[in-house]
Amino acid sequence: MRDQPPLPAVSFQSVTRRYGPVIAVSGVTLDIAKGEFFALLGSSGSGKTTLLMLLAGFDQPTEGRVMMSGTSVSELPPHRRSIGVVFQNYALFPHMTAAQNVAYPLKMRGVGRSEREERVKAALSLVNLTERGASYPSQMSGGQQQRVALARSLVFGPELLLMDEPLGALDRRLRDQMQQELKRIQRELGITVIYVTHDQSEAMAMANRIGIMAGGKLLQVADPETIYTAPSSHFVARFIGECSILRVASLDNGRAFEIAGARQSLPSPAIAPFDIVVRPEKVSVHSVNDARSGEAFSVPATIREVTYLGPGWRVELQLSDGQLLLANIMRGDLLAGELEPGKSVIARWASASVTTLPTEGSS
Ligand code: ADP
Ligand code: MG
């Protein structure tokens, strides 16, 4: 027994959910460890909510099964699953005070009055609403209402907290603040969180691991840095931040490539045909007279468009083969003051900063 790995908090095993002809979730297999902050990221209609509902027990899979700590939960009704849920629309009871709302799940579970009061107090304190227990939802801001909803979902001590776009209705500043608080609360409680969002920066900022969904499928699961630096598909590369995806010619059995007459070796060989992914912040722009390339890859380009961004400039470059390359240039970079459309320049990036992807439609 001692040598067995810990059971995942949540395990989706080949889970599919069909609604008539619509496949909302398609063959999802995924383990989430105890204490993880896991973000499910995807655009609207990608199947995120359906996956949460299958876990929460509000819906049943058409195929496959859902396990919690090694036990199949398919037969368990929602209130027996030890799961707290927070939705975008807070769904508070309007005729109850904040404290009564938070007490509700405890009442449902038959917790006695004095313990109830103690737990409600602790839960309201956890979300920094100690003073607002007697307020009604209509007397509270959107952010405060969402804190009450969070307290209500945590008050009975669930093993798992599911959140479905919980901050979507809040403005930017409040959202940033709540993101930090949610992370703090998750750390303090050590609870497992599955957090659904369509906002990639939110997923990056909060999660230990991100699962990217599209068309009901889980496309890639990894930590934020891996998702950003080593996307597994064109879709993921484009979905997470800006990038240029460039067609290249493979050389030396995939150990190097050529683009617009320039050649670069790859740190590890790729299987042809492949494309390369270049993030704009990895690209620098230099004068054509600047020959100091060192270890970096250099390719001639023409400036097409320059946009001022505040911290720097976004430069759209065109290579001699017609392909477009984006560069984000910081203040102080060479040429920053003399970026002009039509100008011939050298684009440069460190050899290690490109990743390769199989050319789409090639496999
Ligand atoms: P997301 O939360 O990522 O926006 P959903 O899980 O809500 O996506 O939906 C995934 C797909 O399943 C969508 O095409 C949606 O229209 C469909 N769908 C979801 N629920 C139902 C339902 N009860 N009946 C029919 N189709 C549904
Ligand atoms: Mg949804």
Distance 106 CA to ligand 2 centre (A): 27
The pair phi, psi for residue 7, each rounded to 5°, is: -70, 140
Q: What is the pLDDT of residue 351?
A: 85
Q: What is the pLDDT of residue 5?
A: 77
Distance 313 CA to ligand 2 centre (A): 35
Q: What is the distance between the alpha carbons of residues 204 and 213, in angstroms, rounded to a whole number?
A: 15
19 CB near ligand 1 (under 6 Å): yes
Q: What is the distance between the alpha carbons of residues 286 and 294, in angstroms, rounded to a whole number?
A: 13
| Sequence-separated (6 or more) residues with CB below 8 Å from residue 18 | 24, 62
Q: What is the pLDDT of residue 195?
A: 97
Distance 44 CA to ligand 1 centre (A): 9
197 CB near ligand 1 (under 6 Å): no
Distance 355 CA to ligand 2 centre (A): 31
Please, which pLDDT band fits residue 61 given cuts at 50, 70 and 90?
Answer: very high
- Say if CB 315 and CB 335 are below 8 A apart: no
Q: Given a cut of 70, is residue 28 above it in pLDDT?
A: yes
> Residues with beta carbon < 5 A to ion ligand 2?
49
Q: What is the pLDDT of residue 43?
A: 95
Q: Given a cut of 80, is residue 138 above it in pLDDT?
A: yes
Domains and CATH numbers, the chain: 10-238 (3.40.50.300), 243-358 (2.40.50.140)
Please, which pLDDT band fits residue 91 given cuts at 50, 70 and 90?
Answer: confident
* Residue reference for tokens 């409680």: 189
Averaged pLDDT for residues 250-276: 93
Q: Percent of the chain scored above 90 by pLDDT?
A: 77
Please, which pLDDT band fits residue 311 given cuts at 50, 70 and 90?
Answer: confident
Q: What is the pLDDT of residue 336?
A: 58
Averaged pLDDT for residues 62-85: 85
Averaged pLDDT for residues 86-109: 92
Q: What is the pLDDT of residue 337?
A: 63
Q: Given a cut of 60, is residue 329 above it in pLDDT?
A: yes
Q: What is the distance between the alpha carbons of residues 170 and 297, in angstroms, rounded to a whole number?
A: 44
Q: What is the pLDDT of residue 334?
A: 61
Q: What is the pLDDT of residue 153?
A: 95
Q: What is the pLDDT of residue 333?
A: 65
Q: Percent of the chain scored above 70 by pLDDT?
A: 96
- Choose the most confident range, by mean pLDDT, from 56-60, 194-198, 356-360: 194-198
Averaged pLDDT for residues 288-296: 76
Nearest ligand, measured from the Cα of 41 = 1
46 CB near ligand 1 (under 6 Å): yes
Query: Does residue 292 sit in helix, strand or coil?
Result: coil
pTM for the full predicted model: 0.90
84 CB near ligand 1 (under 6 Å): no
Please, which pLDDT band fits residue 1 given cuts at 50, 70 and 90?
Answer: low
Label residue 64 left, alpha or beta by phi (over 0 means left) and psi (-120 to 50 means alpha): left
Q: What is the distance between the alpha carbons of residues 195 and 218, in angstroms, rounded to a whole number?
A: 15
211 CB near ligand 1 (under 6 Å): no
* Ligand 1 atom closest to Cα of residue 198: 3
| Sequence-separated (6 or more) residues with CB below 8 Å from residue 198 | 41, 42, 43, 44, 48, 165
269 CB near ligand 1 (under 6 Å): no
Q: What is the distance between the alpha carbons of residues 27 and 64, in angstroms, rounded to a whole number?
A: 8
- Say if CB 231 and CB 223 are below 8 A apart: no
* Residue reference for tokens 């097409």: 304
pLDDT in tens, 199-213: 999 999 999 999 999
Distance 87 CA to ligand 2 centre (A): 9
Q: Smallest Cα–Cα separation from 324: which of 245, 236, 231, 248?
A: 245
Q: What is the pLDDT of residue 232?
A: 93
Nearest CA to ligand 1 atom 27: 19
Average pLDDT, the chain: 91
Distance 32 CA to ligand 1 centre (A): 23
